[in-house]
Amino acid sequence: MRDWRSGIVTITVRDQRMRQHDPILGVVPLRLADVLQTSSQVTRWYPLDGGIGFGRVRISVLFRSVETRLPPQQLGWDVGTFEFTSDKILATGYSTNAKLKMRTGGSSGKIARNQCQKTEEGDGVLWDLVKDNGKNNVRLPVKYRYRSPIVFEFHTSGKRAADAYAVVWLHHLEDNKEEDINIPIWKTDKGMRLVQNYITEENFRDIPDIRIEEIGRLQFKGRFKTGTDQDHAAFVSDNDSRETQETWEACHAEGVRTTKVTKELPPAVQKLHDQSLTQGRDILANADEKEKKKWLSKTGEDWSGAFGEDPALFVDERGRRKPDYSREESSQRAGDDDDEEADYTDSDSTSDESDLGLHDASTNQESDNGAAQPDGEPLDVNATSSGTSHSKSPITQYKDYKENSKGLHRKQRGLMQWKPMRNLAFAKDEAKFMVRKTLKKGSLAGRQPDVETETGT
């Protein structure tokens, strides 16, 4: 786990059944920033919710931290979705009418050739992303972000292979941050080698046995949104990924997970974290507040120095060790720290809700009316709805049932309340997974290295 501030551990309890999908009895999502407030180890009872069962589960969490110095780009999530935030994708220096294909680690998308149009200046082409209610606004789910690029292929008429390429690597982007992306458009005689290797503007001239020519620039705005969302459901290829997606849907329906993961620390936890970075660091002993802020960067850098007490406390003016340095002073300081911790524990850690790291779903009473979640996104209330309608029209009742079918089926209601229907759904999914595995389609695993080894694995 690269960053504990946004880390979430979700535990799912399922009922094992033969020739059926194992139904969810309940889920427990744990946000580490809320659960591990005053200690790196905690054991508590947590309620089960979001499934066909009920009860409590006792969970022990132990977090072992490692102090590292990583830039913000390296502290992100692996799972997420790349999305375009600009109104258009502009290609300057490339004037050919082309179809734009985009692909990453397992997912792909395209914009048709008839959507390509010349720019007003005439020095390039563009693809409008807001036309037809955002039909061309492609979203690319990713499962392994730090080994996945976004590959743009320009396909012209009368040519089977791609005419040009553009590549942006996702490990250069920060989580949930909109960025202006300006990458080169390349023509090459070995397109497969170009897109399968880490080739950038800095190193493409040093690569032997390949001809690469920059013919233009591709410009747009985009961001890497962290966390699972509805787009990942289209790439479920086995039972493991299906159960993972189903777990997120259960949490999202209960209002305890959103479509975006953010780094939000409670004020008490942020204060303790800042104290842990400055406590006992001799280089910060006499530093001013401006210097300390550099060390307590909120963007992920850790410029912390040596551990331990300030060496100046142990020596006199001549640099010799103080003979009268007593343990009473250190014990008194430790006692003061204990008193501060006791005051904090009495006042701030008595709430059971903060231990769970969840949003209380009972407070979202306006969720049926489309109330917004904490991050401003509407709640998906399909799974919490009963699926019944007061309308007597069978068409309206059918539409309501189709809209709420996922949540109803997850809780074995509606058609899934009968065992033959559950067996049929299990057989259908198994056949679909077998076809996708055979055709190697619909998986976010991406391309695996094809290297022979002598290890026998």
CA 121 to chain centre: 39
Is there a domain that residue 339 lies in? no
User: Which residues span the domain enclosing 361?
Assistant: 1-68+237-282+291-304+353-447
Q: The whole model's pTM is what?
A: 0.67
Is there a domain that residue 340 lies in? no
| Statement to judge: residues 366 and 423 lie in one domain | yes
- Looking at 188, 203, 226, which one is the last position of a domain? 226
Is there a domain that residue 108 lies in? yes
| Statement to judge: residues 93 and 188 lie in one domain | yes
| Statement to judge: residues 209 and 247 lie in one domain | no
| Statement to judge: residues 299 and 438 lie in one domain | yes
Please check whether residue 177 is in contact with residue 225, taking contact to mean a CB–CB distance below 8 angstroms: no
Residue-wise pLDDT tens for the chain (457 aa)? 888 888 899 999 999 888 888 899 999 999 888 888 878 899 999 999 888 988 899 999 999 988 787 888 888 999 999 999 999 999 999 988 999 999 988 788 999 988 889 888 878 899 999 887 878 889 999 999 998 999 999 999 888 889 999 999 999 999 999 999 999 999 998 888 898 889 988 888 888 888 999 999 999 999 999 999 888 888 888 888 889 999 999 898 888 888 888 877 777 777 776 676 666 555 555 566 666 666 555 544 444 443 334 445 555 655 555 654 444 444 444 444 444 444 443 434 334 443 444 444 443 434 343 334 444 444 443 434 444 445 678 888 777 777 777 778 888 788 888 888 888 888 888 888 888 777 766 667 666 656 655 554 4
| Statement to judge: residues 185 and 145 lie in one domain | yes
| Statement to judge: residues 242 and 220 lie in one domain | no
| Statement to judge: residues 272 and 399 lie in one domain | yes
- Looking at 226, 249, 271, which one is the last position of a domain? 226
- Looking at 188, 207, 226, which one is the last position of a domain? 226
| Statement to judge: residues 270 and 398 lie in one domain | yes
Is there a domain that residue 309 lies in? no
| Statement to judge: residues 56 and 122 lie in one domain | no
Is there a domain that residue 25 lies in? yes
| Statement to judge: residues 295 and 438 lie in one domain | yes
Is there a domain that residue 343 lies in? no
Of the candidates 205, 198, 203, 192, which has an alpha carbon nearest to the alpha carbon of residue 165?
192
CATH number of the CATH domain containing 200: 2.60.40
Q: Other CB atoms closer than 10 Å to residue 164's CB: what's the count?
A: 24
CA 243 to chain centre: 17
Of the candidates 191, 180, 226, which has an alpha carbon nearest to the alpha carbon of residue 6?
226
Is there a domain that residue 313 lies in? no
Is there a domain that residue 323 lies in? no
Sort 305 into a burial class: Cβ within 10 Å, 0-12 / 13-18 / 19+: exposed
State the total domains in the chain. 2
Grouping H, G, I as helix, E, B as strand and the rest as coil, residue 251 is helix
| Statement to judge: residues 191 and 125 lie in one domain | yes
| Statement to judge: residues 277 and 386 lie in one domain | yes
Q: Are strands 56-62 and 41-47 parallel, antiparallel or unpaired?
A: antiparallel
- So what's the pLDDT on residue 12? 94
